[in-house]
C-alpha cells in the first residue's frame, strides 16, 4: 500500500486561499486500493476546487456519500458528467429518485445498509442513526483507524464507537463534520472526554463542528489537533 493521503476538496473552513469555501464537505482519499471521493460538497465548487488542486476526476473510481444533505451531495451530478465510470456507495435509505439519477448518469450504485468493506483497508460503518441516516468511512492504517464523517448526525461518539466495535482496532484520527455548531459547552466537554476514553489520538474537526467546539478540541488535543480546511492534505506523517 502506498502512503495514505486525504485531501480536503471542499470545506467551509478556509485553508488554501485560492479555493472556494461554500458550506459543505468533500475529501479525496488516495494511496488506498481504490481512489475514493467522500462526499461531493455543495454544487458548484467541487470541480473548480479539484482543478485548483490538480485532481483529475477521471482518476477517481469510487464515490461514497455520507448522507442526503445537499452540502454533501450537491457536487455529484457535475462530477458524474465528467466521470460516470465510478461506483457510488450511498445509504440504502436515499430516495429512489436520487438512486435512479445516479444510474442514469451511468454510474454503478451500491446501497449500503450494514457495515461493509469497500476495498482493502477501507470500510463503511453502514448507515447509522434514526432520523438522518448517515454512513462514515473507516480507513485502516498501520498506526490505527482513520474515521471520516460527513455531518455526524447520528452523533460523533456513536460513530467512533461503531467504527471501533467493527474493526476492533485503536483510533488514530477522527475527522470531518462533528455537528456541534449549536452545541452547549457541557455537551462538547462530554464528547471530548468520550474521545479520550475511546483512545482517539488525533482529531480533525471541520465543516459543521463550529468554532467553539473546534477551539475546545484544540485546547484538549494540543499538537494532536489537525487544523482542517479546503485544500489541506493529511498524510500519515502528520499523525506520528
> Which positions lie near Zn ion, rule CB under 5 A?
69, 71, 151, 208
Q: How far is residue 25's CA from residue 136's CA, in Å, rounded to a whole number?
A: 13
CB of 207 to Zn ion, least distance (A): 6
CB of 93 to Zn ion, least distance (A): 14
* Closer by beta carbon to Zn ion, 25 or else 217: 25
CB of 159 to Zn ion, least distance (A): 13
* Closer by beta carbon to Zn ion, 143 or else 181: 181
CB of 126 to Zn ion, least distance (A): 17
CB of 16 to Zn ion, least distance (A): 20
CB of 26 to Zn ion, least distance (A): 10
Q: How far is residue 23's CA from residue 61's CA, in Å, rounded to a whole number?
A: 25
* Closer by beta carbon to Zn ion, 63 or else 208: 208
* Closer by beta carbon to Zn ion, 69 or else 123: 69
Farthest-apart Cα atoms in the chain, separation: 47
* Closer by beta carbon to Zn ion, 206 or else 239: 206
Q: How far is residue 102's CA from residue 98's CA, in Å, rounded to a whole number?
A: 6
CB of 189 to Zn ion, least distance (A): 23
Supply 95's cell numbers. Answer: 430516495
* Closer by beta carbon to Zn ion, 11 or else 71: 71
* Closer by beta carbon to Zn ion, 25 or else 140: 25
Nearest to Zn ion by Cβ — which residue? 151
Residue 222 has φ and ψ, to the nearest 5°, of 55, -125
Amino acid at each position: 500500500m502506498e502512503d495514505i493521503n486525504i485531501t480536503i476538496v471542499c470545506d467551509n473552513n478556509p485553508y488554501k486561499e485560492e479555493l472556494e469555501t461554500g458550506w459543505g464537505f468533500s475529501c479525496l482519499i488516495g494511496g488506498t486500493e481504490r481512489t475514493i471521493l467522500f462526499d461531493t460538497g455543495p454544487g458548484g465548487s467541487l470541480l473548480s476546487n479539484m482543478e485548483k488542486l490538480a485532481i483529475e476526476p477521471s482518476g477517481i473510481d469510487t464515490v461514497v456519500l455520507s448522507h442526503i444533505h445537499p452540502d454533501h451531495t450537491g457536487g455529484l451530478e457535475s462530477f458524474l458528467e465528467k466521470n460516470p465510470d465510478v461506483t457510488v456507495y450511498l445509504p440504502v435509505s436515499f430516495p429512489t429518485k436520487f438512486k435512479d439519477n445516479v444510474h442514469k448518469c451511468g454510474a454503478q450504485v451500491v446501497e449500503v445498509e450494514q457495515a461493509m468493506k469497500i476495498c482493502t483497508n477501507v470500510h463503511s460503518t453502514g448507515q447509522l442513526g434514526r432520523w438522518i441516516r448517515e454512513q462514515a468511512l473507516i480507513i485502516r492504517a498501520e498506526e490505527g483507524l482513520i474515521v471520516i464523517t460527513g455531518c455526524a448526525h447520528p452523533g460523533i461518539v456513536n460513530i467512533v464507537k461503531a467504527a471501533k466495535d467493527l474493526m476492533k482496532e485503536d483510533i488514530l484520527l477522527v475527522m470531518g463534520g462533528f455537528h456541534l455548531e449549536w452545541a452547549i459547552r457541557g455537551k462538547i466537554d462530554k464528547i471530548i472526554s468520550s474521545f479520550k476514553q475511546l483512545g482517539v489520538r488525533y482529531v480533525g474537526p471541520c465543516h459543521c463542528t463550529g468554532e467553539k467546539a473546534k477551539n475546545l478540541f484544540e485546547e484538549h488535543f494540543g499538537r494532536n489537533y489537525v487544523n482542517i480546511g479546503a485544500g489541506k492534505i493529511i498524510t500519515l506523517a502528520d499523525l506520528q
